[in-house]
Structure 1
């Protein structure tokens, strides 16, 4: 990946060379000459890298030297550019001198820059001599023509979105699926284990996920949980994950529990439930013993509960001391292999334009047979060949097929697919996935920000960086190099991905051999020195897992540091750091280190402790992203942060001590660049000044994403800030008090709108239905009697969620919402019947009714929707009508606690109802929502977590 290093540096140098500045007047000629030298080096890389892969040690050293020279050049040039940026921000007399002349300190720095550039040039001259002695040929013709733009073959509008994107396409596993489900549902009452055993890449997780997500399994078991064990795990972390899944919510007390307390909590909860727990990718025989060593977490209540386990080893499957059914997953037969392979290599949407389709099918069947029934091999190779529809290439695959067994076969297929990627930028993006832990679910939004900070995304004339990066994700998915977990409902693009553990291992190995990245996991006994294929390689990117009580062993010239689950570690001084991304960790002396990282592009600290930001953070003039979700700062957020001119994405949790910048402070710099602003304003430690916030937000006219959440009621004036926000695509506002009406105009570009209020007095639909791009609408709190959607309204709406509406009549004219596929009504307790207009929605395929108990199973519209094939999901926490449970509550003392009878949000809601005088409301015979409003109760019947489905990922 030295080629990506050269390209990134050349991009920085080219940008600098175009800037007219007196600051670099005495060094500009040196910088320009260095640019040409780096281009010459780039010409040697292709031949040098080919010889390195053939085992030439001299070529390997040369590639490493080229990478080192490129990064050294980048560091010294950026140091000079940083000085220019800093001087532009200076005010007053000294600022004028700095901008139009040279201060003595600047002259000294420029002298050092010149000396460093001369040293780098000498090193480059030595590299040229080494290349000549090794007979490395410069391929100057391909240094700048390699394709950098990957076009997305799919349209932006993905059509109906109600399907479950986590649900994978099953090819050839129908019989296996039925057997597994049959064993889970059998009449055996005692707790038992069903184990799926097969080699890596055979489809164990795919089959288990299909079973786990099926509607029949969800209905049969009262509690379900999925945890991925992998080679590196901590028993207490698995147990805490299970608690969160089976009990819902995010109980802060769980984080402080020890292993015994968590296990006991699980045991006591599951003792009353028929449950299913999936343990995916178990490697060691003692895993079950470790999970249950403190207390038996999974009780046998003789009610048909099950444990589903996937593993590569049969002894692991047989080790669990309880009734066990071991299912050996068979490889796909020849016909099923062809079905899977052809779905990837010759997809249906391309068959009509393929010439000589019969020839490709003939060759494809032979290739599919060679894959020995392994789904991963079939999918990856099929994805590779779909991009190479050339009969000669397909024939060459057959003739060059490796004769070795499955392990080497998979490596050869992955290496071929990697080499076939259209440019070195995309190859770097794929290898970068090695930085994440095994089986990690990666949010594409975060991954794109990392790629951009690493300069892996090139500037193209057609797309902004984020668009190009999303096309790269799509390209990797089309080639089956990443697995799609789900897509964004509003945008259709891929939202979360994971990478198969076989491919993950290959990426780690390739990244180390290439000197691209070193992944270190102390749990697995790995270290950078021992695991590296070449002790002479210098790494610039590091990924660590589960370290504790030490200074992170990062080289002084490290450019990227990713870390997961540290226990009280210290960061070294990293002068050239570009990326710092750490999760679930405790940091020491962070305050001292971060101020000196002047090259930093991305700072992401999620769910961390020991974090304080110094006022010197305003000197990080290249910083693009700040993400502190889930992290409680030990200091007030410094206002110097708003001086950073390159800031594009800003994410803060509720407990941050934050105040908006005062009007007197200039926000002109970031108002031109800031694209994402996510702020969860809590009630503790926040100096919230509404007027200042409105002024601040109104200047962010380049925003594409805005999310504001407040514990207290949000002032209605927030809705007035949209006048200048013509680029807004995603809006999330929660929660308002009473809104008389919505503003007459929202940004016409908005695709996703989430808005919650205690009460909206005027029908919001006549305003919202005019938004031409709106795809997802989630609205809460309408207080009117009627609601009307006109015939031309909501032309692109696909998902509609209405929460806590008091609407009794909903009129829908024919022709409205032509693309609506998913409708959810939550807490609309005064709605006694479904509108007949739902029958005229041509795309409606999924209807969810939660806490809408007045609508009976005999509702005419409901019955007709079922007949037409619409999937109906109707549920509430209580399995009987609100009128019935109100009658039951009459005979109970007002101080009764219902938490033992019901669970989660409903228990808390019922307890509050009783405490605050539900009995008096009943005596007045008011419908429930109106009765609650009559007493001034909060409208939202569920805790805030339900209203913010995306908060879980941040917090």
Structure 2
């Protein structure tokens, strides 16, 4: 893995050097020479990285030195590149001088970089001598892995199968049994405990039970919380309260454990509820939840607790508990699960000797000892190797290990089989999230891109390549798919199984890829022995003390639920993401972080951005949603040409209109999310519109502004690539504009009043999949035949329609219909319920229902 990480750094160095050598003046020759030396080191590293596994102390040191020198070269070359980018953006007289002459500060930078490169080259010479002494083979200038996306590679992804559905093969009878236990007529409070070892499918089964129509209809309210090894009783109670009572985080933040328990207690006395405690590790968890007050009373109304656990904790739950030991799959069901992954129907048609594969596959399935996780992982691996000889070799080489180690062996095999080092890095990076974390895929992709894990491939946007990487991991069952985006057709939310998370964290620690620190487990990143590399990435999780990174050379810093975060100056930082924390002296921390690519502060306090933020010329993503800003976001932010994704709430100003002599380029901007509670002047929005008209590469536009001028619709003429549009707090619209981007797949428009039927305009959009509208006050609404050819989800708010005319053939793919506060649509509702192509209809606050 160290070799893979080095390859990514070398790729960045090559890109900078190739593109910018004409700008490096006096250090051009030094940079070209350095490139050659770095390529040579990559050859040494490929040999040394394998030998490091033999626990040779000297080789571990050598690997660390090679990786370090690669990062140093990256930093040095980028410092000069930054200088040139900064000079090109300068305005006026000083800008002209900077572009055509050398300022004293620039000459100093070039001199320092030249000295640094000479220092790096001396280090490389020493490394080469050490490699020869250790008999490390120079494999030559082996090129960086050729990464491409061919047609066969892409065809697999639309056919991926839902992870939980796969793991449920063979549990149909147990599913029915547990559902019956939950919805029986017994009134007293009771629990069901599903018990099995890790990877046996407990959570998948419980999730299927939880989401069943019978269960959801039987209970007034339901809640699902993941307990895991690291938990705080009050946090679990707050999450339960939020789900069953609909309370917001803000309303319960100040409540203590007794107050939260009391509110849950009082609510459960009146309402029949189901609460799922998933992945319980400790026998005293029930006692901890009821420590301050008995939060779960026996109200004799049929409430239930469903528990999944690796231990038998029935004797420790002070309510009647039915223990359900989850059985392992028999041989037939094991083969059914394995073949569903390894030989799905769309692949069987191209296999000549299916019987031979089935014969070998049944033997391999038997080796997995009935564990669904092992079967799904192995099936994912085998699906990439439809070669009978290879299946036979795996069977012959099957290691004799216990169940827990067996799964880890399969994970290791799948990891090594990933097609390139970029994808391997993407997989290990998931360990930077806490266990059981619900991972937002678009946000994960932004991090991957900032880290340099996504290669540039002709005719593919970086985001598109990253989406295929997620799909590849899902198809191999290395991640769990929680939710897909209906609008975009790609995976939207994922999780990673605890066993896989543990494997990733350990592999990342040993390879110096990532370290993790939390209060429960201690610092995973502290090397247990000298054979572990020091990492340049750190993830801090659920800490009450301040962040104190171990090295000033750290490049990535992630923080999750830190009470307070005091970050020292880290001038080489490339990724900074902190959530649910109070920040100290943050303004001074990032003012000099010229290498920064990604900045996310979610639900944080104490946020003050430096006026010099415009100097962060590599910044790709800034996400300040839901954070409290103690000062305005500086206007210089808009001067950064590398921005790809901008997410801002209140507390920012639009960029000043660009001077005619200055051309602003935002060719990379993909996502713009702006939420503003109140805009005081028309000039504010006028300036923003001038800026937005330059954003002709935007794919996602989210504007939630009060009041929203109708002038916003004029932007669409210059945004031909828009896929996702959300416009909120529009006032009175006489009619919608006649033209929307033909590429739009998701459209959300919230208005006070829409006076003219919007459907004749919107039904012509050829790619529209999701449509959400609010405020139409007309009496009739018409949808013509062949209208809305791709629409799958329709949500209408505050529609006063008395008649909805639909011609045959309209909305032929509509799957979900939701009506909110549509008080006059009684007759419409009756007719819609008879439409055969609808699968889900939700009627909320409609008097007839």
In which range does the TM-score fall when normalised by the shorter chain? over 0.9
CA–CA distance in structure 1, aligned partners of residues 806 and 156 of structure 2: 28
Quote the Cα distance in structure 1 between the aligned partners of 2:484 and 2:721: 22
Matched, 1:556 2:552: yes
Residue from 425, 428, 431 that aligns with 1:428: 425
Q: Does 1:506 align with 2:503?
A: yes
Contact 2:193 2:306 in 1 (8 A): yes
TM-score by length of 1: 0.85
- Does the residue aligned with 1:780 lie in a helix, a strand or coil? strand
Q: Is the contact made by 2:57 and 2:531 (CA closer than 8 Å) also made in structure 1?
A: no
Query: Aligned partners of 2:691, 2:141: CA distance in 1, in Å?
Result: 50
Whole-angstrom distance in 2 between the partners of 1:596 and 1:100: 25
Deviations 1:868-917 (A, max 9, x none): xxxxxxx6xxxxxxxxxxxxxxxxxxxxxxxxxxxxxxxxxxxxxxxxxx
Cα distance, 1:839–1:685 mapped onto 2, change above 3 Å: closer
* Cα separation, 2, equivalents of 1:849 and 1:840: 14
1:540 is matched with 536
Alignment of 1:335-354 (within 5 A): 335-354=332-351
Shift of 1:412: 1.0
Query: For residue 630 of structure 1, what is the aligned residue in structure 2?
Result: 626
CA positional deviation for 1:193? 1.4
Show the counterpart of 2:688: 693
Residues of 1 paired with 2:396 and 2:654: CA distance?
A: 66
1:676–1:703 CA contact under 8 A, matched in 2: yes
CA–CA distance in structure 1, aligned partners of residues 530 and 504 of structure 2: 16
Could you say if the C-alpha distance between residues 794 and 684 of structure 1 is closer, same or farther in structure 2, counting changes exceeding 3 Å? closer
Partner of 2:770: 776
- Identify the residue that residue 942 of structure 1 maps to in structure 2: none
Q: Could you tell me which residue of structure 2 aligns to residue 118 of structure 1? A: 118
* Contact 2:88–2:98 (CA under 8 A) maintained in structure 1: yes
Post-superposition offset of 1:824: 2.1
Contact persistence 2:60–2:531 (CA under 8 A): no
Q: Deviations over 1:458-514 (max 9, x none)?
A: 111131111110000000000000000010010110000000000000000000011
Number of aligned residues: 848
Q: How far apart are residue 773 of structure 1 and its match?
A: 1.0
Per-residue CA deviations over 1:743-774 (Å, capped at 9, x if unaligned) read 01001110000111121111111111111111
**Judging changes above 3 Å, is the alpha-carbon distance between structure 1 residues 836 and 272 closer, same or farther for their aligned structure 2 residues?**
closer
Instruction: Establish whether residue 75 from structure 1 lines up as the match of residue 70 from structure 2.
Output: no
Alpha-carbon distance in 1 for matches of 2:565, 2:17: 40
Question: Residue 674 of structure 2: which of 664, 673, 679 is its match?
Answer: 679
- Partners of 1:642 and 1:661 within 8 A in 2: yes
- Measured after TM superposition, the shift of residue 271 of structure 1 is 1.5
Q: For 1:528, what is the secondary structure of its paired residue?
A: coil
Structure 1 residue 610 displacement after superposition: 1.4
Check conservation: 2:80, 2:113, Cα contact below 8 A.
Answer: yes
Residue equivalent to 1:107: 107
Cα 1:813–1:372, aligned 2, differ >3 Å: closer, same or farther?
Answer: same
> Using a 3 Å threshold, how does the CA distance of structure 1 residues 193 and 35 change in structure 2: closer, same or farther?
same
Counterpart position of 2:603:
607
Pairwise mapping of residues 679-828 of structure 1 onto structure 2 (< 5 A)?
679-683=674-678, 689-710=684-705, 712-828=706-822
Q: How does 1:887-902 map to 2 (within 5 A)?
A: none
Matched, 1:324 2:330: no
Counterpart-to-counterpart distance in 1, 2:588 and 2:610: 8
- How many Å apart are 1:167 and its aligned residue? 6.7
* Distance (Å, rounded) in 2 between the aligned partners of 1:252 and 1:695: 36
C-alpha distance in 2, partners of 1:20/1:393?
Answer: 46
Q: Kindly indicate whether the alpha-carbon contact (under 8 Å) linking 1:523 and 1:545 is maintained by their aligned counterparts in 2.
A: no
SS at match of 2:123: helix
**Mean alpha-carbon deviation: is it higher for 328-337 or for 787-796?**
787-796
Superimposed CA distance per residue, residues 616-640 of structure 1 (whole angstroms, 9 cap, x where no aligned partner):
1111111110001110111111111
CA distance in 2 between partners of 1:528 and 1:46 (Å): 23
**Once the 2 structures are TM-superposed, how far is the Cα of residue 554 of structure 1 from its aligned partner?**
3.5
Q: Per the alignment, do residues 853 and 175 of structure 1 end up closer, same or farther by CA in structure 2, a change over 3 Å counting?
A: same
- Separation in 2 of the partners of 1:237 and 1:687? 44
Preserved contact between residue 542 and residue 554 of structure 1 (Cα < 8 Å): no
Tell me the residue number matched to 1:567. Answer: 563
> Following TM superposition, by how much is the alpha carbon of 1:587 offset from its aligned partner in structure 2, in angstroms?
1.4
Cα contact 1:823–1:846 (8 A) shared by 2: yes
Instruction: Confirm or deny: 8 A CA contact 1:814 1:837 kept in the other structure.
Output: no
Cα shift at 1:523? 2.5
Cα pair 2:803 2:825 within 8 Å, conserved: yes
Quote the residue 1:929 is aligned against: none
Where 2:522 maps in the other structure, the secondary structure is: coil
Q: Show the counterpart of 1:260.
A: 258
CA distance 1:707–1:347, change in 2 (3 Å): same
**Are the counterparts in 2 of residues 156 and 492 from structure 1 also a CA contact under 8 Å?**
no
Q: Give distance in 2, aligned partners of 1:334 and 1:755.
A: 53
Q: 1:204 aligns with which of 192, 202, 205?
A: 202
Cα distance 1:171–1:165, how it changes in 2: closer, same or farther (>3 A)?
closer
Corresponding residue number in structure 2 for 1:580:
576
Tell me, yes or no, if structure 1 residue 657 matches structure 2 residue 651. yes
CA shift for structure 1 position 320: 1.0
Give, in whole Å, the separation in 2 of the partners of 1:156 and 1:134. 44
Q: Is the 8 A contact 1:195 1:311 kept in 2?
A: yes
Q: Is residue 333 of structure 1 aligned with residue 330 of structure 2? A: yes
* 1:634 alignment partner, SS class: coil
Q: Give 1:130-141 correspondences, 5 Å limit.
A: 130-140=130-140
Does residue 263 of structure 2 align to residue 250 of structure 1? no
Contact 1:193 1:323 in 2 (8 A): yes
CA distance in 1, matches of 2:793, 2:697: 26
Q: Is 1:380 the counterpart of 2:377 in the alignment?
A: yes
What residue ranges of structure 2 are gaps of 5+ in the alignment?
none
* Cα distance in 2, alignment partners of residues 539 and 221 from structure 1: 48
Q: CA deviation at 1:826?
A: 2.4
Q: Is this contact kept in 1: 2:794–2:817, CA < 8 A?
A: yes
The structure 1 residue matched to 2:589, chosen from 573, 578, 593, is 593
Secondary structure in structure 2 of the residue aligned to 1:510 = helix
Which residue is 1:286 aligned to? 284
Cα distance, 1:684 vs structure 2: 9.2
1:515 and 2:509 matched? no
> What's the CA shift for 1:20?
5.6
Q: Could you tell me how far 1:533 is from its partner in structure 2?
A: 4.7
Following superposition, the deviation at residue 14 of structure 1 comes to: 2.8
Residue deviations 1:140-183 (CA, integer Å, cap 9, x gap): 47533444547685669969x9x999877620111111221122
Unaligned runs of 5+ in 1: 855-874, 876-955
Q: Are positions 1:616 and 2:637 aligned together?
A: no
How far apart, in 2, do the equivalents of 1:832 and 1:522 lie? 56
In 2 relative to 1, CA 839–228 (structure 1 residues): closer, same or farther, beyond 3 Å?
closer
C-alpha deviation, 1:127, in angstroms: 2.1
Q: Secondary structure at the match of 1:53?
A: helix
1:547–1:569 Cα contact (<8 Å) kept: no
By how many angstroms is 1:190 displaced? 1.4
Kindly indicate whether the alpha-carbon contact (under 8 Å) linking 2:60 and 2:532 is maintained by their aligned counterparts in 1.
no
Q: Which of 265, 268, 271 is matched with 1:270 structurally?
A: 268
The match for 1:186 is 184
- The answer (yes or no) to whether the contact 2:164–2:480 under 8 Å persists in 1 is no
